[in-house]
């Protein structure tokens, strides 16, 4: 059995399926997609890739299956799904996911067609693994799909510790060893065994802290919004959406430098827009929190016109309402399965923290910042 040295999990042993899948072009492409996309403009050492993360997810899935006592054909399919769960990502990962979905209607975890369009389905077939079963597991379907995509999935466990390790912050540190060791299946639902309320709380706490300090850092938010605007303009040229979706990070940067040089050059040089507005949830009219991307663009054009600046110099960025998916983790308390939000008083405090972290942003070049600030307050009805 082969093994790969990993910066987080040490040695990761590979079964024959994983060994063959790693040699495919679809998986090797993940070496060229950074895990944290624009976050690396804030934390320079965060240059790890989705290839490394996929290996970590595979390793934790294997450990979880061993803990659950599952070592049959189902386990082979789950391990393959764990390794392949990110092959559907476009360049810059989640930063281009909404762009791709708007043009194709497809999420990054919808792998059915991709498996058959690449050599992946052939590799799976040679190992007697049904590609459709793997695609379903990646979507979190079937009881064991929860290991790959669910409230207690190993995807989340790996990226928290890996992102904390590479950014150099301590906030994503969790006891992933205990989490995977204490997984159980109850009535086809993945749960944590008795005595793990605090273990589950630590996962929530890590996710909340990483969200505010790393994932939604304002510099990354600004760069991500600029990248999305640039990608939409790139797709208005002759760039095909399927070609775009299969780019690596460096391919996209080159394309943006050539076809959208104003925004592409700024992103490459880290010459980013500034915050003209950075408004908390309690100060924003309710109607603004549900703006669609088209509404955001209309608002940005109106703000630019009122401020007397170039329309491409204003970006309105309205994130989705804050939520805490991990609060739905199921834990065993007194031999009764409960949601964590029922068993933990900490959940309410973390929900309040997520609300406090939420910000509506309006971004513009430094020279236009003051004029855009005044116009945005009027257009958006902000106090």
Q: What is the pLDDT, as a whole number, of residue 108?
A: 87
The pairing of strands 315-317 and 359-364 is antiparallel
Q: For the segment 246-293, what is each residue's pLDDT rounded down to a tens digit?
A: 999 999 999 999 999 999 999 999 999 999 999 999 999 999 999 999
pLDDT at 6: 97
Q: Looking at residues 93-113, what average pLDDT do you find?
A: 92
What CATH architecture is 2-217?
A: Orthogonal Bundle (1.10)
Residues 331-376 pLDDT 10s = 999 999 999 999 999 999 999 999 999 999 999 999 999 999 999 9
CB 329 within 8 A of CB 146: no
Which residues does 381 contact at the CB level (< 8 Å), separation at least 6?
285, 288
Specify the pLDDT at position 324: 87
- What's the chain's average pLDDT? 96
Nearest alpha carbon to residue 309 among 372, 261, 260, 264: 372
Give the model confidence (pLDDT) of 139-193 as tens digits. 999 899 999 999 999 999 999 999 999 999 999 889 999 999 999 999 999 999 9
Residue range 146-155, pLDDT digits in tens: 999 999 999 9
**Please, are residues 363 and 317 in contact by the beta-carbon 8 Å criterion?**
yes
- Residue by residue, DSSP assigns 111-166 as -HHHHHHSTHHHHHHHTT--HHHHHHHHTT-SGGGGGTSSTT-HHHHHHHHHHHHH
Residue 1 has pLDDT above 80, yes or no: no
| CB-CB contact of 148 with 60 (8 Å) | no
- Band (383; pLDDT cuts 50, 70, 90): confident
How many residues appear in the chain?
383
Contact criterion met (CB below 8 Å) for 29 and 40: no
Indicate the Cα dihedral angle 58, 62, 68, 73, nearest 10°: 100
CA dist., res. 235 & res. 52, Å (int): 29
Backbone phi, then psi, for 117, in 5-degree steps? -80, -15
User: What percentage of the chain has pLDDT greater than the value 70?
Assistant: 100
Instruction: Look up residue 232 and give its two tokens.
Output: 């939409």
pLDDT at 109 > cutoff 90: no
Q: Which residues make Cβ contacts (< 8 Å) with residue 339, sequence separation at least 6?
A: 327, 328, 329, 330, 331
The residue to which tokens 């799976």 are assigned:
124
- Judge residue 23's burial from the number of C-beta atoms within 10 Å of its C-beta, 0-12 exposed, 13-18 middle, 19 or more buried: exposed
pTM listed for this prediction? 0.95
Both structure tokens of 17 = 């399926």
Distance CA 195, CA 191 (A): 12
**pLDDT recorded at residue 328:** 92
Query: pLDDT by residue (tens digit) across 312-331?
Result: 999 999 999 888 888 999 99
| pLDDT tens per residue, range 9-62 | 999 999 999 999 999 999 999 999 999 999 999 999 999 999 999 999 999 999
Which residues 6+ apart lie within 8 Å of 290 measured at CB? Answer: none
């Amino acid at each position: 059995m082969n093994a790969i040295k990993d910066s987080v999990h040490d040695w990761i042993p590979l079964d024959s399926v994983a060994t063959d899948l790693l040699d495919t072009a679809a998986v090797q492409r993940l070496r060229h997609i950074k895990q944290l996309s624009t976050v690396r403009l804030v934390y320079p050492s965060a240059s790890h890739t989705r290839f490394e993360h996929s290996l970590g997810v595979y390793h934790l899935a294997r450990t979880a299956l061993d803990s659950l006592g599952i070592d049959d054909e189902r386990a082979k399919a789950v391990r393959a799904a764990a390794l392949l769960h990110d092959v559907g990502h476009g360049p810059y990962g989640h930063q281009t996911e909404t762009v791709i979905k708007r043009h194709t209607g497809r999420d990054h975890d919808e792998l059915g067609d991709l498996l058959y369009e690449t050599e992946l389905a052939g590799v799976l077939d040679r190992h007697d693994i049904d590609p459709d079963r793997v695609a379903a597991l990646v979507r979190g379907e079937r009881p064991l799909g929860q290991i790959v995509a669910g409230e207690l999935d190993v995807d989340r466990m790996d990226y928290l510790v890996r992102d904390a390790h590479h950014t150099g912050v301590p906030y994503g540190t969790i006891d992933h060893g205990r989490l995977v060791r204490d997984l159980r299946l109850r009535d086809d639902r993945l749960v944590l065994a008795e005595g793990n309320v605090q273990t589950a709380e630590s996962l929530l706490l890590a996710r909340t802290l990483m969200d505010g300090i790393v994932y939604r850092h304002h510099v990354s938010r600004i760069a991500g919004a600029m990248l999305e605007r640039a990608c939409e303009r790139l797709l208005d040229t002759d760039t095909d959406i399927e070609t775009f979706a299969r780019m690596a990070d460096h391919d996209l940067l080159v394309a943006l430098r050539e076809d959208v040089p104003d925004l592409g050059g700024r992103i490459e040089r880290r010459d980013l827009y500034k915050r003209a507005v950075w408004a908390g949830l309690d100060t924003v009219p309710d109607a603004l929190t549900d703006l669609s991307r088209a509404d955001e663009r209309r608002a940005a054009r109106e703000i630019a016109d009122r401020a007397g600046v170039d329309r491409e110099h204003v970006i309105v960025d309205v994130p989705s309402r804050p939520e805490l998916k991990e609060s739905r983790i199921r834990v065993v308390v007194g031999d009764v399965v409960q949601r964590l939000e029922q068993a933990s008083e900490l959940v309410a405090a973390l929900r309040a923290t997520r609300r406090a972290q939420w910000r509506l942003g309006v971004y513009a070049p430094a020279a236009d910042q003051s004029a855009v600030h005044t116009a945005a307050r009027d257009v958006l009805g902000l106090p």
